[in-house]
Chains A and B, each alone.
Chain A
């Protein structure tokens, strides 16, 4: 029942929004629906950590601790993003850049996008999961192009061509896993369910799994933004409206990574941990290096945030490569922490773009003295994202590094630390320009609307709370890590 509710509530809100021209309250209904997803996700998590995994729809849908955790992540960031969508759409309709019809379509697409991500993490079959992940590309393409500028058009073209190509390779990889399973068991029933693939993993042909896992890392890695398949990411994330960027950067990347994790668990069983680990370490280090080199001279603050996501996906890949129970728990905490911090930052950047009219770093300065609330949120968001305490990213990065050293990946952790130091310096320099400096004389600090300040502050507080004490999540993280390790 819970699983059905999680999928239908956001979709119904989207369908309702599509039926009529956009009004502020239809936007709030969508936000409430996403809030309901968060609450239902917590209920689902409570159930699966206490007892057995939940199934629905004749076994097509299934939730274990890992799925429930991802539902919570999606719900939390979707709430933040849909509150901000109300702000974005009222500003756009007020200045005549967007009709009420167009805004209704936007709301419907965002809700469909959220539903597709939920379906991806609740699917029991790897094939259904693939269909859902590909559907996220379709639903987000027009959202990326929503501002209808030349740049937005170009970004959505690149996005859909590159991601569809990648995801086609992931389909071939999925089909090869299916082929290996058919060969091992001899009958097709249930061979695409990851539970049965996990159970049969040690009997799968290693040669085929090797090829299949390579294709999966290439395919889902494209969607997860790993270098060198990342070229669509900075364009799409910087051109999309801020709430869409927050969802794409904060959760869509990690939903693709979730798919990769499911396959990694199967490949670990078939091949031993060495080969999947090598693939993930290569992807992780490449992403860190690309992010570090391109962040230094970045001129656009939305692109800066986008490259920062590539860095965090690299860190997550390295953490997953370590593969121990501690590592997976830290990876998942990082997924949530990064989602919250990056979501808040993208949403704040949308507000900055709205009030300042430029996304160039050089065009914005002294935010802290001119707009104290907005500047404060952006500043604390950067502090969180750079992994400083008290935010949860500090704890998760520390634990991932510890797990990497324990797994014999100390050298990779050292390279990662070097890249992180470069990124730290680069982002600090950009952040200083945006936030500090003298306000123009005789100007008064401007207030930030409550619709922006309240949700974003709540997001930051949640991230800080998780950093100080992760106890509410502890049993869930532990149970989710067990799903991956056993």
Chain B
């Protein structure tokens, strides 16, 4: 593949991962948020696929397929079943409103570029220079996790962090060894399953609830 032919799709796919993260801050309808997560997982898989095609790395190709299935299909399907049973699932009153959240996202992206200066300075190629995109996704995930009040939003934040870490890993190192990557994907999948069970149990017990109503335990 030629240099430009490789950089274009790679930048597009990686940029789409970050764009999806910003969209999750913007949409309040949790069903839409889950669809955005599916798109993000797919873009992440495509990023790994482009890298694999470029370097003709079979291990990375398998990883890309794994990511596509786990993050593009299975995890969103699991979450969709949670939000479908709860028709009124909207993030009605986030701790920070939507325009301010989007502004914060812009700041976080700048912070990500500043923080990864040391890494990109060392970077040999195009891919590694895109690594701040992954870091920015992680930071936006954190922001979502601490400012939203619905269980599904917390799971979304966790998944954004995870996707951001995975994106940065692909771009910097062309993927960790396959054994580690498949173990990590399985772990993430199981965490989502566990969170889903907890979220449904909590809703069955407390009715529609916000996370800040969890106040049984404190000092």
Pairwise interchain contact B173-A127, C-beta atoms closer than 8 A: no
CA distance A179 to B201 in the complex (A): 41
Asked if A338 is an interface residue, CB under 8 A from chain B, the answer is: no
Interface size class of B (residues with CB under 8 A): 35 or more
CA distance A185 to B151 in the complex (A): 44
Pairwise interchain contact B158-A165, C-beta atoms closer than 8 A: yes
Contacts of A208 in B (CB 8 A): 118-119, 122
A side interface size, CB within 8 A = 52
CA distance A347 to B186 in the complex (A): 33
Q: Tell me which of A142, A145, A172, A234 has the highest count of chain B C-beta atoms within 10 A of its own C-beta.
A: A172
| The one of B118, B121, B158, B183 that contacts A131, using a Cβ cutoff of 8 Å | B183
Pairwise interchain contact A142-B158, C-beta atoms closer than 8 A: no
A220 → B minimal CB distance (Å):
15
Asked if A364 is an interface residue, CB under 8 A from chain B, the answer is: no
Choose the segment among A3-11, A151-159, A412-420 that binds chain B (4+ C-beta atoms closer than 8 Å).
Answer: A151-159
Asked if A303 is an interface residue, CB under 8 A from chain B, the answer is: yes
Given A60-B179, A153-B205, A161-B154, verify A175-B168 contact (CB < 8 Å): yes
Pairwise interchain contact B187-A151, C-beta atoms closer than 8 A: no
The residue of chain B having its C-beta at the shortest distance from the C-beta of A236 within the complex is: B217
Contacts of B154 in A (CB 8 A): 161
Contacts of B100 in A (CB 8 A): none
Pairwise interchain contact B191-A130, C-beta atoms closer than 8 A: no
Give 17 CB contacts A-B under 8 Å: A125-B177, A128-B183, A130-B184, A131-B186, A138-B191, A141-B194, A141-B198, A154-B216, A168-B158, A168-B165, A178-B173, A179-B119, A179-B128, A179-B172, A179-B173, A188-B177, A211-B115
Q: Which residues of B contact A (CB under 8 A)?
A: 115, 118-119, 121-122, 124, 128, 138, 142, 145, 151, 154, 158, 161-162, 165, 168-169, 172-173, 176-177, 179-180, 183-184, 186-187, 190-191, 194-195, 197-198, 201-202, 205-206, 214, 216-217, 219
Q: Which residues of A contact B (CB under 8 A)?
A: 60, 125, 127-128, 130-131, 134-135, 137-138, 141-142, 145, 150-151, 153-158, 160-161, 164-165, 168-169, 171-172, 174-176, 178-180, 182-183, 188, 192, 205, 207-208, 210-211, 234-235, 238-239, 294, 297-298, 303
Given A127-B183, A169-B138, A205-B118, list of 4 further CB < 8 A pairs? Answer: A128-B180, A138-B191, A153-B201, A207-B121
